[in-house]
Chain A
Amino acid sequence: MANGAREAWITGIGIVSCLGEGADAHWQKLSEGKPSADVTTYAPYIVHPLAPINFDLQIPKKGDQRQMENWQRIGTYAAGLALDSAGVKGQTDVLSHMDMIVAAGGGERDLTVDSTILSGMPRAADPAAFLNERLMSDLRPTLFLAQLSNLLAGNISIVHGVTSSSRTFMGEEAAGLDAVRIAVSRIGAGQSDIALVGGAHNGERPDLIMLYEFAGLMLKNKFAPVWDRGDGKGGFALGSLGAFLVIEAREHAEARGAKALARIAHVVSDRRKRLPGNVTASLEDLWHKVKDEVDAKSAAVVSGATGANPATAEERAFLEAHGELAVRATGSYLGHGLEPQFPMNLALATVALQHGSLFPPCDSTGLEKPMSGPLTQVVVTGVGHWRGEGLALVEKVG
């Protein structure tokens, strides 16, 4: 075991996205093979908005909901689903020794306040005084707590009572990869018995669209699946999604009578300076750490490709070099959610392993090939649009 001596099981998943909530809704939509996206609300930018969610079901107190912005609500909701799925919701004895690693961005802006300042400050007699005055009087005091990266974890502790350790990793896609990697390593080494790992992203945010559009990374005008976005810059459509996993030492799960949904055999990650060819080379090096355990006859790849080049083109080159494995890019359906994308894809790999089969291709370029046989292993890739490369090997148990 690359990540330690003890087996790490996934015993719970909690997922929400534009496809709905929970394993069944996601499996059904992925099986239908018809991705859709919102091309009008933020036109010309394309997003995958969150399916309607009744937050009350996992965040019963309205007061708690009011203290959060949407990215935190999405995450706190998904975390609750994961705890339900693992059968530990409300089990104080388990939750009090449950470790948490959350992959988070943050910083959700008050768009109205920003617009007021942007409009008024250039014309103000004393611009700096105007800025201070507006911020002092217009910012809601609690907005700061809704912006802080570690307050998704904080809200999960408050709402769901997860109270052993609480750590928040930032850093876009790599944060999600490393959150899972370190949680699994800690479990493997006996530093942790059970962990809640995941994150959340609100893609319906003009301030975030702007951050990525600084580099011209947003998918514009016409929707296409991730591999169909051309040889040029391509682009990603931001997605609203939340994904949490309960990852548990096998011994701990067996002792409480919990079933494994899947086993995480490996999680590996790296950071390469993004020179041409380096993403492909990085993935190849990571692949060498897991390939001996992959049985190509019943394995597939769930790719976290974003659709933005050169990262996606380089991942494609890696995948084409391993054409014996069927590939599916979930970003075509979900959009790109950065920090939680990798935990989400681990969850979707788990759902596919539970069904024992892969969902159909969604790609006109021929990279995604049909797979009809049984599925027992999934290689999950995660390549950051800017930095960070990683992959995991997830397996059927028993």
Chain B
Amino acid sequence: MAATKDKMGRPIVVVTGVGVVTSLGAGKADNWAKLTAGESGIHTITRFPTEGMKTRIAGSVDFLGTPECTAALSEQLADLAAEEAIAESGIGTPGDFPGPLFLAVPPIEMEWSQRLDVGARSGSNDIVTYADLLRVSDEFPAYHGRFLFGSVADHIAERFGTRGSPISLSTACASGASAIQLGVEAIRRGETDAALCVGTDGSVNPEAVIRFSLLSALSTSNDNPQKAARPFSKNRDGFIMAEGAGALVLESYDAAKARGARILGVVEGCGEKTDAFHRTRSSPDGKPIIACIKNALEDAGLTADDIDYVNAHGTSTPENDKMEYLGCSTVFGERMAKLPISSNKSMIGHTLSAAGAIEAVFTVLTLQNQRMPPTINYDVPDPAIPLDVVPHAARDAALKHAISNSFGFGGQNVSLVVGVEPA
């Protein structure tokens, strides 16, 4: 049987399973229902005292209990999402996934509770220095494995039995999309028939919130958490840190068909383009974002006119939303005035390393259900960036191809084109 190829002669890459956890809940059914109902998962932080912080709200995932640390929660979230995606796809056998793992994960670090434990054990009752910590470090052997950068991926690889060396990756807020792109590339190379691509982030902890706050990146709309994420609004004032995980089982079309798998969608193209302008800001001319979106369209063998919906990066920062508008309006031209573009972050916040994967899952669901989730809190449109953001309420539409954007600190830009199953 001749292999089924795309326009460029490469294996077609399809999605056969998705899983998702956000502050809205665990599982795609619950998430999709709430997302299309326009519910917000943003709330006042109760995980730790926020006294003295400028930002005291987040989309943290609190229904899994109190996490020991970011690494542990990121692992738990990834576990849940991967389990759901693999179960839906029906691929492999439990504990034996027939392909590699690409995991987008926040950089793993030891945190204050552990650092303070070691400090207390040192018995130093005046100034505590690293020399004191080092004196007793070997009394905490479990911290080694826990706080290695590769620890979360190693756990997921072990649990689901993925093949080969698992990849832990970071492209900042584009990480989840990069994980998918790496999986797509591996299948197109013919190295594997399947890949498990996961993005996870459980990093709402005091130091992480303060770090973003010190960069003036976060919303300070503390008094009305559910109204704080306002992508594309004139009064948007920063993003909301959030947690969650998204997982996708990718397969070659032929492998999926051969085992009778249900095809949820097609990853038609991936584009990326690095911005060398600034560590946290986009090039003012928008060229890297424009090139990123164009690269994704070209990789998919499509033109701008083929795109029916944009799943925005839409962080609700003044900078991002303006630059995303510039990028999209340049690529899509006059059509942009009518091309629906909505931001899941208005409801789930910015899930950072997980965002690209979670939003790819939601893009797949959007195409499957032929229904676009809304941008909520769009009460004060920004006249400088006029867009159809699918305001307030979900909307049905005939959709064949959608694009999902992810942009991150460090000049990271990734766009994914997702389509419905070819007829």
Binding site for B on A (CB under 8 A): 4, 45, 67, 100, 104-107, 111, 114-115, 117-119, 121-122, 126, 128-129, 131-133, 135-136, 139, 141, 143-145, 147-151, 153-155, 157-158, 161-172, 174-175, 177-178, 181-182, 185-186, 188-189, 191, 206-207, 209-217, 269-271, 273, 386-388, 390
Contacts and interface: CB of A to CB of B under 8 A. Distances in A.
A235 B288 CA distance: 45
Contact of A174 (B165, B186, B278, B410): B165
B140 A214 contact: yes
Top 9 nearest A-B pairs by Cβ distance? A154-B410, A171-B150, A215-B144, A206-B130, A170-B149, A118-B128, A128-B49, A214-B144, A144-B211
A158 B188 contact: no
A356 to B, nearest CB: 32
Contact of B279 (A154, A181, A387): A154
Nearest to B132: A118
A216 B157 contact: no
Given A145-B409, A157-B274, A214-B140, A171 B107 contact: no
A118 B158 contact: no
Contacts of A269: 164-165
Interface stretch (B113-121, B224-232, B359-367, B394-402): B113-121
Contact of A175 (B109, B168, B172): B168
A115 B128 contact: yes
Contacts of A207: 110, 130
B274 A271 contact: no
Contacts of A172: 148-150
Contacts of A388: 150, 165
B116 to A, nearest CB: 6
Contacts of B138: 213-216
Contacts of A166: 171, 272, 274, 410-412
B142 to A, nearest CB: 8
Contacts of A170: 105, 107-108, 149-150, 168-170
A15 to B, nearest CB: 22
B182 interface: yes
B141 to A, nearest CB: 6
Nearest to A117: B112
B167 A132 contact: no
B188 A150 contact: no
A150 B274 CA distance: 12
B149 A122 contact: no
A211 B206 contact: no
B128 A191 contact: no
Given A119-B126, A150-B409, A166-B274, A171 B53 contact: no
A387 B130 contact: no
A132 B210 contact: yes
B171 A151 contact: no
